Structure 1
Amino acid sequence: MIESPNILSPKISQSSWVVDIERASISWSNKEAKWLFSHFFEGEDLAKFIIDAALLQRLKSFVQSQPLGATLQFIWPCSTLSKERVNCIGTVISLGASNRGVSVKVQSLTVNERPVLADSFTSEWSSLDIVRCFNSLPMAVFDGKGALLDMNRSFSQRFGSVEQIEDLFVVSSAAHGIMAMLSSRELHTQEIRLSTVKGVRWQQIEVCYQAASDRVFLLAHDIQEERDHETVLYRLNNYDPLTQLPNRNLLYSQLERALVNARKRNLKFGVLSLDLDGFKVVNDTFSHRVGDELIQQVAERIKSTIPQSACLYRLGGDEFVIVQEHASGMDELVDIAQTVIKHSIKPYPVSKMEMMITASIGIACYPQHGDNIDYLLKNADAAMYRAKSISHNSYFIYEEAMADTIRAHLTLGGGLRKAIEEEQFELFYQPKIRLSDKATVGAEALIRWMHPELGMISPDQFIPLAEESGLILPLGEWVIRRACYQLKEWREQGYPAISLSVNLSGRQFMQSDLVEMVSQVLAETGVDPRYLELELTESMLMADAQQTIEKLHAFRALGLTLSIDDFGTGYSSLAYLKKFPIQTLKIDRSFVNDLGVDSDDEAIVKATIAMANSLNLKVIAEGVENHSQIEVLNGYHCEEVQGYLFARPMSHDDFSVYMNSHLMGASMLSAVH
Structure 2
Amino acid sequence: MTDLSKLLHRKMPLAAWIIDIEQSSVPWCNEAAEALLEDSLSDIKSGQRVIGSELKDRLSLYLEALEIGDALPFKWPFVAKNGAQFNVHGSVISLGGARKGLSVEAHPVPPSRISLENLSSGLLSQFTTLSFAVFEQSGVYVEASKCFVEHFGDIKHVRDLFAVSGAANSFIRRLAERECLSQEIMLSTKNGVRWHKIEVSYQPTTNVVYLLTHDIQEERDHEVALYRLNNYDGLTHLPNRNLLYQQLESALVNARKRNRQFGLLYLDLDGFKVINDNFGHRVGDELIQRVAERIKDSIPSGACLYRLGGDEFVVVLENTKAVEELESIAESIMQNASNTYPVAKMEMMITASIGIASYPQHADDIDNLLKNADAAMYRAKSTGHNMYCVYEYHMADNINAHLTLGGGLRKAIEEEQFILHYQPKIRLPDETIVGAEALIRWIHPELGMISPDQFIPLAEESGLILPLGKWVIRRACRQLQEWREAGLAPIKLSVNLSSRQFMQADLVDMVQIALEETGVDPQYLELELTESMLMADAQQSIEKLHSFRKLGLTLSIDDFGTGYSSLAYLKKFPIQTLKIDRSFIQDLGQGCDNDAIVKATIAMANGLNLKVIAEGVEERSQVDTLNGYECQEVQGYLFSKPLSSDDFVSYLKNHNLTI
Determine whether 1:580 maps to 2:577.
no
Determine whether 1:362 maps to 2:335.
no
User: 2:411 maps to which residue?
Assistant: 418
Q: Residues 175, 613 of structure 1: CA spacing in aligned structure 2 closer, same or farther, 3 A cutoff?
A: closer
Which residue identity is paired with 1:473? L
Contact map agreement 2:130 2:147 (CA 8 A) in 1: yes
User: 1:376 maps to which residue?
Assistant: 369
Contact map agreement 2:265 2:373 (CA 8 A) in 1: yes
Instruction: Say which of 434, 457, 478 aligns to 1:441.
Output: 434
How far residue 365 of structure 1 moved from its aligned partner, in angstroms, is: 2.3
Which residue identity is paired with 2:295? V
How far residue 266 of structure 1 moved from its aligned partner, in angstroms, is: 7.8
User: 1:556 maps to which residue?
Assistant: 549
Contact map agreement 2:132 2:212 (CA 8 A) in 1: yes
Instruction: Say which of 291, 298, 301 aligns to 1:301.
Output: 298
How far residue 666 of structure 1 moved from its aligned partner, in angstroms, is: 2.9
Which residue identity is paired with 2:356? G
- Output one character per residue of 1:327-367: Cα deviation in whole Å (capped at 9) or x when no partner: 6xxxx24242243245445445444889795764332424x
Gaps of 5+ in 2: 1-115
User: 2:160 maps to which residue?
Assistant: 167
Equivalents in 1 of 2:362, 2:429: separation in Å?
Answer: 58
Which residue identity is paired with 2:517? E
Worse overlay, 269-278 or 540-549: 269-278
Instruction: Say which of 213, 216, 220 aligns to 1:227.
Output: 220
Equivalents in 1 of 2:419, 2:123: separation in Å?
Answer: 88
Instruction: Say which of 321, 326, 350 aligns to 1:337.
Output: 326
Match runs of 1:468-483 below 5 Å: 468-483=461-476
State the percentage of identical aligned residues. 61
Which residue identity is paired with 1:272? L
Equivalents in 2 of 1:545, 1:342: separation in Å?
Answer: 26
Equivalents in 2 of 1:168, 1:315: separation in Å?
Answer: 43
Contact map agreement 1:277 1:388 (CA 8 A) in 2: no
Equivalents in 2 of 1:173, 1:532: separation in Å?
Answer: 80
Contact map agreement 1:282 1:291 (CA 8 A) in 2: no
1:200 match: secondary structure: strand
Contact map agreement 2:138 2:175 (CA 8 A) in 1: no
Equivalents in 2 of 1:335, 1:486: separation in Å?
Answer: 49
Instruction: Say which of 538, 555, 566 aligns to 1:545.
Output: 538
- Output one character per residue of 1:381-417: Cα deviation in whole Å (capped at 9) or x when no partner: 3345456667875543553x44312211211222221
User: 1:193 maps to which residue?
Assistant: 186
1:303 match: secondary structure: coil
Determine whether 1:216 maps to 2:213.
no
Contact map agreement 1:612 1:618 (CA 8 A) in 2: yes
Contact map agreement 1:281 1:506 (CA 8 A) in 2: no
- Output one character per residue of 1:531-580: Cα deviation in whole Å (capped at 9) or x when no partner: 11111112222222222222112111212111111122222432222222
Instruction: Say which of 129, 153, 156 aligns to 2:149.
Output: 156
Q: Residues 237, 176 of structure 1: CA spacing in aligned structure 2 closer, same or farther, 3 A cutoff?
A: same
Equivalents in 2 of 1:297, 1:218: separation in Å?
Answer: 51
Determine whether 1:508 maps to 2:501.
yes
How far residue 636 of structure 1 moved from its aligned partner, in angstroms, is: 2.5
2:300 match: secondary structure: helix
Contact map agreement 1:362 1:387 (CA 8 A) in 2: no
User: 1:636 maps to which residue?
Assistant: 629
Determine whether 1:275 maps to 2:267.
yes
Equivalents in 2 of 1:261, 1:421: separation in Å?
Answer: 52
Worse overlay, 254-263 or 577-586: 254-263
Worse overlay, 407-416 or 509-518: 407-416
Determine whether 1:592 maps to 2:589.
no
User: 1:206 maps to which residue?
Assistant: 199
Q: Residues 586, 274 of structure 1: CA spacing in aligned structure 2 closer, same or farther, 3 A cutoff?
A: same
1:581 match: secondary structure: coil
| RMSD after superposition | 3.3
Equivalents in 2 of 1:292, 1:169: separation in Å?
Answer: 40
Equivalents in 1 of 2:288, 2:625: separation in Å?
Answer: 39
Equivalents in 2 of 1:519, 1:210: separation in Å?
Answer: 94
1:578 match: secondary structure: helix
1:666 match: secondary structure: coil
Equivalents in 1 of 2:451, 2:164: separation in Å?
Answer: 69
Instruction: Say which of 426, 446, 451 aligns to 2:444.
Output: 451
Contact map agreement 1:359 1:393 (CA 8 A) in 2: yes
Determine whether 1:536 maps to 2:525.
no
Which residue identity is paired with 1:666? L
Contact map agreement 2:137 2:176 (CA 8 A) in 1: no
1:209 match: secondary structure: strand
Which residue identity is paired with 2:147? S
Gaps of 5+ in 1: 1-122
Equivalents in 1 of 2:516, 2:274: separation in Å?
Answer: 33
Q: Residues 495, 292 of structure 1: CA spacing in aligned structure 2 closer, same or farther, 3 A cutoff?
A: farther
Contact map agreement 2:357 2:369 (CA 8 A) in 1: no
- Output one character per residue of 1:79-123: Cα deviation in whole Å (capped at 9) or x when no partner: xxxxxxxxxxxxxxxxxxxxxxxxxxxxxxxxxxxxxxxxxxxx9
User: 1:666 maps to which residue?
Assistant: 657
Q: Residues 538, 171 of structure 1: CA spacing in aligned structure 2 closer, same or farther, 3 A cutoff?
A: closer
Give 1 or 2 for the bigger CA radius of gyration.
2
Which residue identity is paired with 1:363? A
- Output one character per residue of 1:180-224: Cα deviation in whole Å (capped at 9) or x when no partner: 657898963221111112322222223343445444332323233
Alignment length, in residue pairs? 533
How far residue 232 of structure 1 moved from its aligned partner, in angstroms, is: 3.4
User: 1:39 maps to which residue?
Assistant: none
Q: Residues 129, 612 of structure 1: CA spacing in aligned structure 2 closer, same or farther, 3 A cutoff?
A: same
TM superposition score normalised by structure 2:
0.73
- Output one character per residue of 1:476-497: Cα deviation in whole Å (capped at 9) or x when no partner: 1111111111111111111111
Q: Residues 202, 344 of structure 1: CA spacing in aligned structure 2 closer, same or farther, 3 A cutoff?
A: same
Which residue identity is paired with 1:560? L
TM superposition score normalised by structure 1:
0.71
Worse overlay, 607-616 or 580-589: 607-616
How far residue 432 of structure 1 moved from its aligned partner, in angstroms, is: 0.9
Worse overlay, 221-230 or 189-198: 221-230
Equivalents in 2 of 1:347, 1:363: separation in Å?
Answer: 22
Contact map agreement 2:271 2:500 (CA 8 A) in 1: no
Q: Residues 555, 322 of structure 1: CA spacing in aligned structure 2 closer, same or farther, 3 A cutoff?
A: closer
Equivalents in 2 of 1:262, 1:439: separation in Å?
Answer: 64
Equivalents in 1 of 2:589, 2:199: separation in Å?
Answer: 85
